Structure 1
């Protein structure tokens, strides 16, 4: 009898080990940049997480911001890179848990840009001109810049001739450079990255100004995830240190000096801004 129990226990243990080996952490991100760029940025981070967690990590691309929120709250993915606004949207739809944010995300900003050829030098020069936000669900590409414009008495739909949505931060720069619009706004981190990489033609696109600071991006997991796995994921992110060569490249691609723990309360200001801007009930 004992032999049978021991054999049964052994078989269950083997089955559990096999199941763990087959486990997959499905990860996605809001498509705030080109799909190829998102994949490039995530690849080394994904490899690192596989080693730290002892499980396969799969990146699941989506076509729009709403798709990430739906997938996360429907338990179709396990973890997602969200903006502050998409985190608030996800929180309203179901249980989600924010784990970490970059240290930089505690004081994030957006950049207003304008067309050099159109003679745009200030936000005031954009009155009656065409303007582009990024995605309608973007924190730094729409919500917070809109909120700060409204605080200055600039209601976008009446202040600008037209308001468009490019869908992504790098696309907004392309719209201004091509003359499709005279002005726009985008994530400060993406703007800095594009400038450093020489991908902004500054004879065509000019920096006009910077918004006040706000909380933004975070890594969030589905609320039904096992608490121990949540803790392991958070610990893996907090372990990243840019003073160590093996971690430096990962952090550089994420444009982070380090990751810090975060909490839902950090995004209450985003929720308030969304309601004030009429973008959230």
Structure 2
């Protein structure tokens, strides 16, 4: 902050002395600290664990402090990005669309995991009598967050394609708030079935946090674009380029990079663009989740 104050004081002094400046439309200076947030699609402790080595890497690559800013729900990330309270955010496809609308199209999706070009959601159950979508009628069902792409929007969209109208065909709809919570709901019998993203499901299985002898996948969605790292549009363009380059430079052949990528459940990061999420926006409008 002292460095920024000194710059501002120098600017005021030079202006008073009659020196004119032409500042760009974007932020005049890069932020002193990069403020990073993420949709809370997993528990807060898990999000912090995943971010810590990535944050240290970004500090080294960018030459500036990086601070993780936790939020309570998906909507809070969108609002924080739109209000300029965070600079970089890990968003799902749907929350990116919401951020784009909230910022009048200025939010910039920089990179996505290679896996996010063909992402899927899993439908899970612990009941023996649920083997197909038709068997869900009259049952209790759990989505994740209402703003989740892979935990709500796309499962709801594909349920519609299968002739299931969740609001009328399910006995009850619960929103667990996060993918791991949805799996816990199903395992505990709080609901009869649920939907969560394939990446979290695979992680829960690999870590032994879900018993596949009791909870099983009975359907998988077709692929769609999902998560990305997005910056606020008025962030210094030079800093945007450095952030993108830092993600693209992560190399799984390097042990220190491989550890970061594994925590992010990424083979590698690739560039992305707004057009990749047009299908998500169309699905959201078709499902009545965007006006």
The equivalent of 1:170 in structure 2 is: 180
Provide, for residues 218-239 of structure 1, a one-character-per-residue CA deviation record: whole Å limited to 9, x for no partner.
0000111000000000000000
Partner of 2:111: 100
1:126-178 deviation digits (Å, cap 9, x = unpaired): 21110000000000000011001101111111221111110000000000001
Q: Paired residues, what number? A: 265
1:4 corresponding residue in structure 2 = none
**Paired residues of 2:30 and 2:239 also in contact (CA < 8 A):** no
Does the CA-based 8 Å contact 1:68-1:80 persist in structure 2?
Answer: yes
After the TM superposition, which residues 8-157 of structure 1 pair with which residues of structure 2 at under 5 Å, given as runs?
A: 23-94=32-103, 95-116=106-127, 119-157=129-167
Which consecutive aligned stretches of 4+ in structure 1 deviate over 3 angstroms post-superposition? Answer: none
Give yes or no for contact 2:36–2:87 (8 Å, CA) kept in 1.
yes
Local SS of the residue matching 2:109: strand
Match of 2:18 in 1: none
Contact 1:106 1:216 in 2 (8 A): yes
Could you state the TM-score of these two structures normalised by the residue count of structure 2?
0.88
Out of 224, 231, 236, the residue aligned to residue 226 of structure 1 is 236
**Cα displacement string for residues 188-225 of structure 1 (whole angstroms, at most 9, x for unaligned residues):** 00000000001102232111111000000000001110
Alignment partner, residue 17 of structure 1: none
Would you say the 8 A contact 1:35–1:61 is kept in 2?
Answer: yes
How far residue 22 of structure 1 moved from its aligned partner, in angstroms, is: 8.7
Paired residues of 1:21 and 1:55 also in contact (CA < 8 A)? no
Contact 1:26–1:77 (8 Å) recurs in 2: yes
The alignment status of 1:268 with 2:278, answered yes or no, reads yes
| Partner SS for 2:130 | coil
Deviation at 1:121, TM superposition (A): 2.7
Checking the alignment, whether the CA contact within 8 Å between 2:151 and 2:196 is kept in structure 1 is yes
Structure 1 residues 147 and 141, CA gap change in structure 2 (3 angstroms): same
8 A contact 1:121–1:206 mirrored in 2: no
Residue by residue over 1:15-40, the C-alpha shift from the partner in whole angstroms, topping out at 9 and shown as x without a partner, is xxxxx999110000000000000000
Aligned with residue 161 of structure 1, among 147, 162, 171? 171
Gaps in structure 1 of 5+ consecutive residues: 1-8, 14-19
- Aligned equivalent of 2:256, options 246, 256, 259: 246
Change (3 A) 1:120 1:242: same
- After superposition, the C-alpha distances for 1:38-79 in whole angstroms (9 at most, x for unaligned) are 000000000000000000000000000000000000000100
The alignment yields a C-alpha RMSD, in angstroms, of: 1.7
- Structure with more of its chain in helix, by fraction: 1
Which TM-score applies when normalising by structure 1?
A: 0.91
